[in-house]
Amino acid sequence: MTKLIYDNRTKHFGERHADLGTATRAYNNAVATIQLNIRWLKKYYVIVEDWLMKQNGAL
């Protein structure tokens, strides 16, 4: 999923479910986790992919 799609979906969800009540904290935590995962993927995807390719070649 691209960042643009993620941004659009979270914005749309937030607009449709503005009053989450007690679930607001869980929603905010989930959004924060997704953002951290996106940053991690941007930073480490190529490194992990290269490592996996090298491991596959070692078989």
Residue with structure tokens 């596959």? 56
Q: Could you give the CA distance from residue 58 to residue 39 in angstroms, rounded to a whole number?
A: 29
Locate the domains of the chain by residue range: 3-57
Burial 18-28 (b: 16+ CB within 10 A, else e): eeeeeeeeeee
Is the full-model pTM beyond 0.75?
Answer: no
pLDDT per residue as tens digits for the range 7-54: 888 888 878 888 889 988 998 898 899 889 989 999 999 999 999 999
Q: Could you give the CA distance from residue 59 to residue 51 in angstroms, rounded to a whole number?
A: 13
Q: Six-digit token pair at 20? A: 């989450």
Residue with structure tokens 């993927």? 41
